[in-house]
A and B are shown apart, each in its own frame.
Chain A
């Protein structure tokens, strides 16, 4: 067993850190898109628009039932062969799209559960004062459902950050790709990937701390 080359690792840290913004950008962009898509699907699942419901069910089932890596390959390598206009899409965009669809399927279920967790009598009260369905959802149900779902959604965001490492397989030079390139020159693969692992770990730990504070804050909400 050889000793770890700590100097090499320390030198590598700033290089890899330089790619953290790209990682966060991909995760944040996918999170925003996934939240919008998931909320729409969740509301649809609850109010059940005839015709649309079967499509949403199928969508959720497919994206939960197949691996993210397979989905990314389908998007990036597969679809352009079928739809010519998709050849323009670069790896980062494809990764964001893939992460969006994959996680939207999971988040839709979490938000749907949270929506049904809002006391039914409040729905009726909203209707009884003459609110439209849309007003009731926007002003009464979704604000409460978001709070119920928030801790779960943060978990998915954490999974998403880790999931961005798969963009490497689409030829994107993100943290993994950068480490791979560095290691190809130095042959210090263990050190290089260890640095990547540690940086991911620290990011996720920071988010978990934030999540705990968020939960404490949410538990206090609506109680004063």
Chain B
């Protein structure tokens, strides 16, 4: 349902994504692992044009974009078909938890305020933050902020939800509640593309684990295969290091 072909990204001289091919089925949960600086974040950011790719095609549902010819409209279409959870939460500081979730619904999707508000309150209830609806991000803990961040991405109802190391910036005490929420999202067969260093979580949530190194996909498969009987040397070294 999501099809990526030859996705390439260069920063100056360095090729950060080297002709990536990747298909993701509807409802599939794909976890991306790999050493630092191998282009995991860049892959996610290219998929919704936070970084503009240099070559390749991205097909997402009925949106198909040749990135070399992508117009502003194409970029918006991709962004509206995806949602993004950031490592540092990136909540809107001038909006309450509820307003953070409503923003896309009202401004981008053009839904009536009352309907958007109801949806935001429902999502907040699912994230366990019903009592924080009117709090600003500055008054929330890291874990609570990230749960709002996930709620903001959930509410959009995007075909693909992307998570870039959603727990890496968190104090250890808040990691559990964020992973729990992600498990609940996964239970609904939401298509997810997740970058994480939480290997136990990857094993448990992933339908497929993708190992990236040097801007390429080196190995991919079910977590049992990739994590327990790795073929490539680089993957073996990486797994020893994170174990």
Complex Cα spacing A124 to B95, Å: 16
| Chain B residues in 8 Å Cβ range of A119 | 90, 93
Complex Cα spacing A131 to B156, Å: 12
Complex Cα spacing A47 to B135, Å: 31
Contact indicator B136/A224 (Cβ below 8 Å): yes
If the complex has contacts A129-B79, A130-B79, A132-B76, are A222 and B88 also in contact, measured as CB distance less than 8 A? Answer: no
What number of A residues sit within 8 Å (CB to CB) of B? 22
Chain A 140-158 interface residues, beta-carbon cutoff 8 Å to B: 140, 143-144, 147
Complex Cα spacing A86 to B162, Å: 59
Chain B 184-219 interface residues, beta-carbon cutoff 8 Å to A: none
Decide if B98 is an interface residue (CB 8 Å cutoff): no
Contact indicator B86/A121 (Cβ below 8 Å): yes
If the complex has contacts A127-B50, A128-B48, are A223 and B90 also in contact, measured as CB distance less than 8 A? Answer: no
Decide if A126 is an interface residue (CB 8 Å cutoff): yes
Q: Contact check: which of A129, A147, A224 meets B108 at CB < 8 Å?
A: A129
Contact indicator A125/B94 (Cβ below 8 Å): no
| Chain A residues in 8 Å Cβ range of B94 | 140, 143-144, 147, 222
Complex Cα spacing A128 to B108, Å: 11
Select from chain A the residue with minimum beta-carbon distance to B78.
Answer: A130
Contact indicator A129/B138 (Cβ below 8 Å): no
Contact indicator B50/A128 (Cβ below 8 Å): yes
If the complex has contacts A129-B83, A130-B76, A144-B93, are A121 and B108 also in contact, measured as CB distance less than 8 A? Answer: no
B45 → chain A closest CB, angstroms: 8
A147 → chain B closest CB, angstroms: 8
Complex Cα spacing A6 to B50, Å: 69
Chain A 74-133 interface residues, beta-carbon cutoff 8 Å to B: 118-119, 121-122, 124-132
Contact indicator A128/B83 (Cβ below 8 Å): yes
B138 → chain A closest CB, angstroms: 5
Select from chain A the residue with minimum beta-carbon distance to B107.
Answer: A135
| Chain A residues in 8 Å Cβ range of B90 | 119, 121-122, 124-125
Complex Cα spacing A222 to B93, Å: 7
A134 → chain B closest CB, angstroms: 11
| Chain A residues in 8 Å Cβ range of B80 | 130
Q: 1/0 per residue B76-109: CB within 8 Å of A? A: 1001101110101011111100000001100110
| Chain A residues in 8 Å Cβ range of B107 | 131, 135, 139
| Chain A residues in 8 Å Cβ range of B86 | 121, 124-125, 128
Contact indicator A222/B138 (Cβ below 8 Å): yes
B74 → chain A closest CB, angstroms: 12
Q: Contact check: which of A118, A131, A135, A223 meets B139 at CB < 8 Å?
A: A223
Contact indicator A125/B84 (Cβ below 8 Å): yes
| Chain A residues in 8 Å Cβ range of B88 | 121
Closest 3 A-B residue pairs measured CB to CB?
Answer: A121-B90, A125-B90, A130-B80
Using a CB–CB cutoff of 8 Å, the interface residues on chain A facing chain B are: 118-119, 121-122, 124-132, 135, 139-140, 143-144, 147, 222-224
Using a CB–CB cutoff of 8 Å, the interface residues on chain B facing chain A are: 48-50, 76, 79-80, 82-84, 86, 88, 90-95, 103-104, 107-108, 134-139, 152, 156
What are 24 pairs between A and B in contact, CB < 8 Å? A119-B90, A119-B93, A121-B86, A124-B50, A125-B84, A125-B92, A127-B49, A127-B50, A128-B79, A128-B82, A128-B83, A129-B83, A129-B103, A129-B108, A129-B156, A130-B108, A135-B107, A139-B103, A139-B107, A140-B92, A144-B94, A147-B94, A222-B137, A224-B136
Q: Could you list 7 further interchain pairs (A-B, Cβ under 8 angstroms) beyond the known A122-B92, A124-B90, A224-B134?
A: A119-B93, A121-B86, A125-B91, A129-B84, A129-B104, A135-B107, A222-B93
